[in-house]
Chain A
Amino acid sequence: MSVDGVQMVETNILAAEVLTAIIGLPEAQRETLVLVYGEGYSYAEAARALGIPIGTVMSRLAAARSSLARLKEGS
């Protein structure tokens, strides 16, 4: 299998774990993550939809990514 192929398989395996981890995130982080990465909202759109400042969108996404990144570090 090529390096790209191995990476794809790893990504897919991790995706299942990531989805489980997303479900376990605090609600505020989870809803922001869904809007931006699941639905393709821009930060500004997500901020409007959630009624929060863009900075809060950024910090929520950073916190969520940080939690999820630990999965990869541990795998």
Chain B
Amino acid sequence: MSPEDAELVGLIDNELDEDAKRRVLMRLAEDEALRKRYEALRDIGPSITASFKALLEKAPSSRLRAAIPPEVAPRATYWPFAGITLRGLAAGFAIGLLAAGAAAWVALSFAPHEGKEDWQAAVVEYMELYTNETFAFDDIIDPSVEAKKLNAIGQRVGATLTPEDLAVPGLRFKMAQMLSYDGVPLAEMAYVDGQGAPVLFCIIANGGADAPTRSERRGDYSLTSWSHAGRSYLVVGRLPEQQTTDLARTLEKRFSKS
């Protein structure tokens, strides 16, 4: 690297002040070797940009976001690629990803989140679309209609869903809907807390082996999951981990009967 490379790169990135810019441009006009150097440094730029873009387009966004340590606060959206941003992933994590020789990438791509737990990542990703306004207008108007709807959804996942079993302290039940993950029925029950923030309780009839409750943090989200009688359950929300754990234990007691 020549001492002039820094100024050439500053020119390429349009980061020089006017005086410095004029000075470098004058030197470039006079020095053919310097022009070639400038071109070499400039021409690698699109490949650098493309490499970061490719990295993000292939990124399992919810898993990556979930892998951000809670103490690393996400920054404002800046440079969108495929709906997510490196800045959104937090600088510390992005640097760590590369610094680890993409080991984190490989681990995240092939470790236990693949397969049966991937549906949880899909739920978290879906949930990222929700805001405190998402369920603002979904109040239950007719309890009998809602009960029928719950019954129908419950049948699809092989569980008995009633308003009584779904009522939990501190949250207001808003709606239930039928989803599908990889062709497997997935029931989603949506609640809001006192501020309107969504909390989801999901049941998927995935034939999973029984497993006790397990809590974890994925980015802003706390998740508590368990499996029973061929169904897997998940409570997820932007809540303290203890709160999703408590909610899950309450629901687990009720749904371990079905």
Contact present for A23 and B98 (CB under 8 Å): yes
- In the assembled complex, how far is the CB of residue A66 from the closest CB belonging to chain B, in whole angstroms? 4
A51 part of interface (Cβ distance < 8 Å): no
A39 lies within 8 A of B79 (CB): yes
Which of the four size classes fits the interface of chain B? 35 or more
Residue from the set A11, A62, A72 with the largest chain B CB neighbour count within 10 Å? A62
Residues of B within 8 A of A59 (CB): 1, 5-6
The B80-103 residues at the A interface (CB cut-off 8 A) are: 85-87, 91, 94-95, 98-99, 101-102
Dominant SS among interface residues on chain B: helix
Given contacts A11-B50, A19-B51, contact A30 B98 (CB under 8 A): yes
Q: A49, B91: Cβ atoms under 8 Å?
A: yes
Asked whether A14 lies within 8 Å of B47 as measured between CB atoms, the reply is yes
Which residues of A approach B to under 8 Å, CB–CB?
A: 11-12, 14-19, 22-23, 27, 30-31, 33-40, 42-43, 49, 55, 58-59, 61-63, 65-66, 68-69, 71-73
Determine the distance from Cα of A75 to Cα of B164 in the docked complex, in whole angstroms.
67
Task: Say how far B223's CB is from chain A's closest CB, in angstroms.
Answer: 27
Nearest A residue to B46 via CB reads A11
A65 touches B54 (CB 8 A): no
Judged by a CB distance under 8 angstroms, whether B48 is at the interface is: yes
Given A31-B95, A58-B10, A69-B40, A63 and B47 contact (CB-CB distance below 8 Å): no
Sample (26) of A-B pairs whose CB atoms are under 8 Å apart: A14-B50, A15-B51, A15-B53, A16-B51, A18-B47, A19-B51, A19-B55, A23-B101, A34-B95, A38-B52, A38-B55, A38-B79, A39-B86, A40-B87, A42-B15, A55-B6, A59-B1, A61-B9, A62-B6, A65-B9, A65-B44, A66-B41, A68-B47, A69-B43, A71-B44, A72-B47
Q: What is the predominant secondary structure among interface residues of chain A facing chain B? A: helix
User: Closest chain A residue to B4 by CB distance?
Assistant: A62
Question: What is the chain B residue whose CB lies nearest that of A68?
Answer: B44
Interchain CA distance A73-B85 in the complex, whole Å = 30
Which residues of chain B are within 8 angstroms of A30 by Cβ–Cβ distance? 95, 98-99
Extra contacts, 5 of them, besides A37-B48, A39-B85, A58-B10 (Cβ < 8 A), are A14-B50, A23-B98, A34-B52, A39-B78, A59-B1
For B1, list chain A residues within 8 Å (CB).
59, 62-63, 66
**List of A residues within 8 angstroms of B78 by Cβ:** 39-40
A43–B9 alpha-carbon span in the complex (Å)? 11
Are B44 and A69 closer than 8 Å at their CB atoms? yes
